[in-house]
């Protein structure tokens, strides 16, 4: 029996992020959750991990449903400590519920699953040669996303829409704009995007391939644990 621990950069648990992955895991898997912001109120979370002007940012959601913009470097340090703790608690597999890049993140013995690496590798192979439209949550994340996806040919186009908006109107509009510019596939580059976002795009008449990180991670992790 494997113990699979899902780590969020916000407050745990985040079933909206993990459900697509959990659906692909064997029924014997023991599931646990942990978050960088667990036990912190909004004020303390923003004081310790809040976004810093001019530095890389991340977007997450709090337990009260509100969203919070975080400093990627501070979150990375928090994740290092969190990984150490969950390994001490018996995690065999650690799944990061974020598509951000955290170069310093390591495990001692557990298998570390980083959606960023899986998603970029899968897209680069499965959609090789496609004109891809990439959606990220925040405008300030576009520059980082251009660097992250620089290996794609032809070069992808980028747009923004928050996965935590009450409705999907902005997402559908952003997706249509990318299609009008020639995109023939879409990548929703944040763990916050899930089944409801993909279904909303389908309901809006968008028929091109739409990849979400959770679906990719689940499809690739499940067979390793089965």
CATH code of the domain covering residue 135? 3.40.50.2300
Torsion on CA atoms 207, 61, 47, 105, rounded to nearest 10: -70
When pLDDT is averaged across residues 91-110 and rounded to a whole number, the result is 94
Alpha-carbon distance of 73 to 103, in angstroms, equals 10
Mean pLDDT of the chain: 94
End-to-end CA distance of the chain: 10
Nearest to 133 by CA among 125, 123, 122: 123
Question: Does one domain contain both 91 and 40?
Answer: yes
pLDDT at 84: 97
Q: What is the CATH number of the domain that holds 91?
A: 3.40.50
pLDDT in tens, 112-133: 999 999 999 999 999 999 999 9
Domain extent for 81: 3-114+216-225
pLDDT at 87: 97
Question: Does one domain contain both 99 and 183?
Answer: no
Alpha-carbon distance of 138 to 176, in angstroms, equals 18
pLDDT at 222: 86
Alpha-carbon distance of 200 to 47, in angstroms, equals 35
Question: Does one domain contain both 35 and 105?
Answer: yes
Length of the chain equals 226
pLDDT at 65: 84
Question: Does one domain contain both 9 and 73?
Answer: yes
Residues 7 and 87: beta-carbon distance below 8 Å: no
pLDDT at 12 over 90: yes
Question: Does one domain contain both 11 and 103?
Answer: yes
pLDDT at 226 over 80: no
Structure tokens at 152: 């794609």
Report the percentage of the chain scoring pLDDT > 70: 100
Question: Does one domain contain both 221 and 191?
Answer: no
Question: Does one domain contain both 23 and 89?
Answer: yes
Question: Does one domain contain both 131 and 86?
Answer: no
Alpha-carbon distance of 164 to 60, in angstroms, equals 8
Structure tokens at 94: 């650690």
Which H or E run includes 188? strand 185-188
Question: Does one domain contain both 80 and 24?
Answer: yes
Question: Does one domain contain both 149 and 200?
Answer: yes
On the CB side of 151, CA atoms within 13 Å amount to 11
The total of structural domains in the chain comes to: 2
């Amino acid at each position: 029996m494997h113990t699979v621990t899902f780590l969020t950069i916000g407050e745990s648990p985040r079933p909206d992020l993990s459900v697509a992955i959990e659906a692909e895991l064997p029924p014997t898997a023991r599931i646990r959750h942990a978050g960088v912001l667990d036990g912190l109120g909004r004020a303390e979370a923003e004081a310790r991990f809040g976004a810093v002007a001019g530095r890389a940012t991340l977007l997450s959601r709090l337990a009260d449903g509100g969203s919070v913009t975080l400093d990627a470097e501070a979150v990375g340090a928090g994740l290092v400590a969190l990984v150490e703790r969950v390994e001490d608690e018996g995690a065999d597999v650690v799944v990061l519920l974020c598509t951000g890049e955290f170069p310093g993140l390591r495990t001692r013995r557990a298998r570390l699953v980083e959606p960023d690496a899986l998603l970029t590798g899968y897209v680069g192979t499965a959609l090789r040669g496609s004109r891809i439209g990439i959606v990220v949550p925040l405008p300030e994340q576009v520059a980082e996303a251009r660097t992250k996806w620089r290996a794609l040919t032809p070069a992808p186009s980028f747009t923004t829409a928050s996965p935590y908006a009450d409705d999907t109107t902005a997402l559908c509009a952003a997706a249509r704009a990318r299609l009008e510019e020639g995109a023939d596939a879409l990548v929703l580059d944040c763990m916050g995007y899930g089944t409801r976002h993909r279904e909303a795009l389908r309901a809006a008449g968008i028929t091109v391939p739409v990849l979400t990180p959770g679906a990719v991670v689940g499809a690739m992790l499940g067979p390793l644990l089965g």
